[in-house]
Structure 1
Amino acid sequence: MITAEGLSKRYGDKAAVDDVSFTVRPGTVTGFLGPNGAGKSTTMRMIVGLDRPSAGRVTVNGQDYRRLRAPLTEVGVLLDAKAVHTGRSARNHLRALAATHGLPSARVDEVIEIAGIGSVSRKRAGKFSLGMGQRLGIAAALLGDPHTLILDEPVNGLDPEGVRWVRQFVRHAASEGRTVLLSSHLMSEMAQTADHVIVLGRGKVLADAALPELVRAWTTARVHVRSPRAAELAALVSGRDIEVVSTSPDTLDIAGLEAWRIGDLAADRGIPLHELTPTSGSLEDAYLALTGEAVEYRTRAVPADGAPLEEVVA
């Protein structure tokens, strides 16, 4: 279990993390989300003692990470896949880490196979692609068979097979009762992986909830309707607390009215329906709605002719 209580980190006048409290529980995959500059990486660094909090505290299984006698066997961490000796082979990098805790070479061979880097284990880590570097970083995090895993953007640079492998691996780890804290900017992947979500924005906790609850709270369910008499149907269903958006001459998106009710109203008027599809919001929709005011870095999309388009979140 990871517990943060009033955790803060300041760099001069800037609060990178501001009075953050949360609990990451065992047996679940907890997604750690937020825009660039939200404070996620700083928080993770404080969890494992790389940054000292300006205020508050954070513990792993009730202890300060820096007081753990054998941290590799307690917490597996991937914060920077490039943090390797570039002149060493992948296997020797792992052997050096294992030696700090007296772990046998057999365990090095095990994590090499788990991470799928057996064919390149004797090559220099400095020559690895981003994806292979990520796999090596995950192998290092697994060396001590830890009960807690902290993985920052572990699927960055991985191919689809690697992404699916990470997803299956962390879900299996949680099913064994391990604590898993996972950050990613890939909302579609997080939606398939996480059970619980913590969202940071400008250093503060914006949400801390089960993923389905977060989506329900920050998105609106809609019904997609296609009919040759869409305009007539729009007028029929319009009313207080009902939103009707015409997306084409024969299609509507309707919020505030259930699909069965729309079908009954159309049938009463003899309006043919060619499609009646309920749709729910996504994690991406909820995330953008939640963090819209907390985005610190933005870009502006510009078309080929140089005329500015609407502002787009980076």
Structure 2
Amino acid sequence: MITAENLTKRFGAHTAVDGISFEVRPGQVTGFLGPNGAGKSTTMRMVVGLDRPDTGSVTVNGLPFARHGAPITEIGALLDAKGVHPGRTAESHLRLLAATHGIGRARVDEVMELTGITSVARRRVGGFSLGMHQRLGIAATMLGDPHTLILDEPVNGLDPEGVHWVRGFVRSLAAEGRAIFLSSHLMSEMAQTADHIIVLGRGRILADAPVGDLLGGGDRERTRVRASDARELAILLAAEGVSIAHADGDTLEVEGVAASRIVRVAVGADIDVHELVPLRGSLEDAYLALTGDAVEYRSDPAAIAA
């Protein structure tokens, strides 16, 4: 578990992280999102003691990272997949890390097998693709079988099979009761992987909520309906104060009403319902709405068109 309280970090006159508090809880994947320059990397670095906060505190499983006697058994962190000496082999890199905590060779073999890098164990890391660097980095995070993991852009450079593997891997770790803190710019992947989302913008938390809440559940139900007489159904629903978000041929998108009510109205008017599909907004839409005023580097569409 990661607990941050009033965490602040300044670099000169620039405030990179501005008084944020959050928790990364066991048993779930917490996604960490934000535009470039939002403060995500600085926050992750403070969690593992690479940057010291100016105010506030952050603990891992109840203690600051540096106070753990065997830190890699508490938290595994992948912050820079290419932060490995290029002259070392994958195996020698992992064995060196393992030796710092008295971890035996058998565990090194296990994590290489787990991440699919056994066949390249004796190749020098300098010749690795970005995807293989990512797998090596994930192997390193698992050496101490930690309770908590921080993974910064772990699917960057992976092929579709690798992306699928990472998704299943982190979901399985969360199912074991571990706390997973995961950053990514791939919104579709985050929507499938994360249980909870924290969105950072200009160093401040813009959202801290379950994925379902960000995607617009509860009071903002939206349903796609295909019916034998969509025009008449739209008129009947509108007469009851229901909002029709979109109409196209035999299909309606109805907002703010339960699907069961739509069916009752259709059946009462002898209208056949051919399709009834609950819709949710995308995580990308929610993210862009949240961060629209917090983007540090913004392109000019007019300049691109020109």
Q: Give the match for residue 37 of structure 1.
A: 37
Q: Decide whether the 8 Å contact of 2:16 with 2:38 is kept in 1.
A: yes
Q: Secondary structure at the match of 1:298?
A: coil
Q: Give the match for residue 213 of structure 1.
A: 213
Q: Give the match for residue 158 of structure 2.
A: 158
Q: Secondary structure at the match of 1:223?
A: strand
Measured in 2, the distance between the counterparts of 1:119 and 1:201 equals 41
Q: Secondary structure at the match of 1:149?
A: strand
Q: Secondary structure at the match of 1:260?
A: helix
Residues 134 and 302 of structure 1: CA distance in aligned 2, closer, same or farther (over 3 Å): farther
After TM superposition, give the deviation of residue 19 of structure 1 in Å: 0.4
After TM superposition, give the deviation of residue 175 of structure 1 in Å: 2.6
Residues 245 and 211 of structure 1: CA distance in aligned 2, closer, same or farther (over 3 Å): closer
Q: Give the match for residue 242 of structure 2.
A: 242
Residues 227 and 213 of structure 1: CA distance in aligned 2, closer, same or farther (over 3 Å): closer
After TM superposition, give the deviation of residue 5 of structure 1 in Å: 0.8
> Where in structure 1 are there 5+ consecutive unaligned residues?
309-314
Measured in 2, the distance between the counterparts of 1:101 and 1:247 equals 63
Measured in 2, the distance between the counterparts of 1:125 and 1:252 equals 55
1:167 aligns with 2:133: no
Q: Give the match for residue 260 of structure 2.
A: 260
Aligned residues: 306
Measured in 2, the distance between the counterparts of 1:138 and 1:275 equals 43
Bigger shift: residues 281-290 or 101-110: 281-290
Provide the alpha-carbon RMSD of the alignment: 2.6
Q: Secondary structure at the match of 1:245?
A: strand
1:121 aligns with 2:108: no
After TM superposition, give the deviation of residue 269 of structure 1 in Å: 4.1
Alignment of 1:222-233 (within 5 A): 222-227=222-227, 229-233=229-233
1:12 aligns with 2:12: yes
Measured in 1, the distance between the counterparts of 2:218 and 2:87 equals 48
Q: Give the match for residue 51 of structure 1.
A: 51
Q: Decide whether the 8 Å contact of 2:221 with 2:257 is kept in 1.
A: no
Q: Decide whether the 8 Å contact of 1:221 with 1:281 is kept in 2.
A: no
Paired amino acid for 1:56 = G
Residues 247 and 121 of structure 1: CA distance in aligned 2, closer, same or farther (over 3 Å): farther
Measured in 1, the distance between the counterparts of 2:49 and 2:77 equals 12
After TM superposition, give the deviation of residue 141 of structure 1 in Å: 0.9
After TM superposition, give the deviation of residue 229 of structure 1 in Å: 4.5
After TM superposition, give the deviation of residue 302 of structure 1 in Å: 6.8
> Where in structure 2 are there 5+ consecutive unaligned residues?
none
1:74 aligns with 2:74: yes
After TM superposition, give the deviation of residue 30 of structure 1 in Å: 1.7
Deviations 1:106-135 (A, max 9, x none): 222221111100111111111111111100
Bigger shift: residues 161-170 or 142-151: 161-170
Q: Secondary structure at the match of 2:253?
A: strand
Measured in 1, the distance between the counterparts of 2:130 and 2:294 equals 29
Q: Secondary structure at the match of 1:15?
A: strand
Measured in 1, the distance between the counterparts of 2:110 and 2:130 equals 22
Percent identical? 64
TM-score (norm 2): 0.89
